[in-house]
Each structure stands twice: as structure tokens, then as C-alpha cells.
Amino acid sequence: GFESEQYFSDYYVEDASFLRMDNLTLGYSFTPPRFGQRVRLAGTIQNVFQITGYNGVDPLAGVNGIDNNLYPRSRTFVFGASVWF
């Protein structure tokens, strides 16, 4: 056991408040003058941005509030087009 009393401490606790935009989707539909009846263009970005003063990898820590051995979240871009004839 311990020889002296153990006390709770926030010495190793860090403020993990953050602002995150996780998904952004934009789309535009239009009728072209010579090509098809309708066209839709769309794009999505995942993990757009994150604002934080946290020094770890991700302020949404894993099990028990510890972010050991986590991989950084990737930023993903998806684009698409639909054409109706």
C-alpha cells in the first residue's frame, strides 16, 4: 500500500474545450440549356476544421479520458455529379 495519504489532483488534467465543424455538404442543381433535363453537382468535406487549445490528438478522448495511441482524424473530400436525361 501507500505510506502516506493519496489526494485527488487536477495537475495532469487539461482543458479540452473545442469547436469543430465535422461535415460540410454543398450542392447545386440546375437545368443546362443543351445537356439533359437536370444536373446536380455536390461535394462533402468531413473533418472541416477544429479550434482548440488542447495539446493532444483529439479532445474527444477515448476510454477513461485518455487519448493514448489515437490516430489523427483524416480530412475527406467527396465530389459527385448526377445527370437526368
Instruction: List, for residues 9-52, the tens digit of each pLDDT value.
Output: 888 788 889 999 999 999 999 998 887 799 999 999 999 999 99
**82: nearest Cα among 46, 45, 37, 44:** 37
**Amino acid (one-letter) located at 73:** R
Q: Cell 501507500 sits at which residue?
A: 2
pLDDT at 23: 98
Give the confidence band of 1 by pLDDT, cuts at 50, 70, 90: low
pLDDT at 62: 67
The helix, strand and coil proportions of the chain, stated in percent and rounded to the nearest 5, come to 5, 45, 55
Is 48 in a helix, a strand, or coil?
A: strand
Query: Over pLDDT 70: what percentage of the chain?
Result: 92
State the Cα–Cα distance between residues 46 and 8, nearest whole angstrom. Answer: 38
Give the confidence band of 71 by pLDDT, cuts at 50, 70, 90: confident
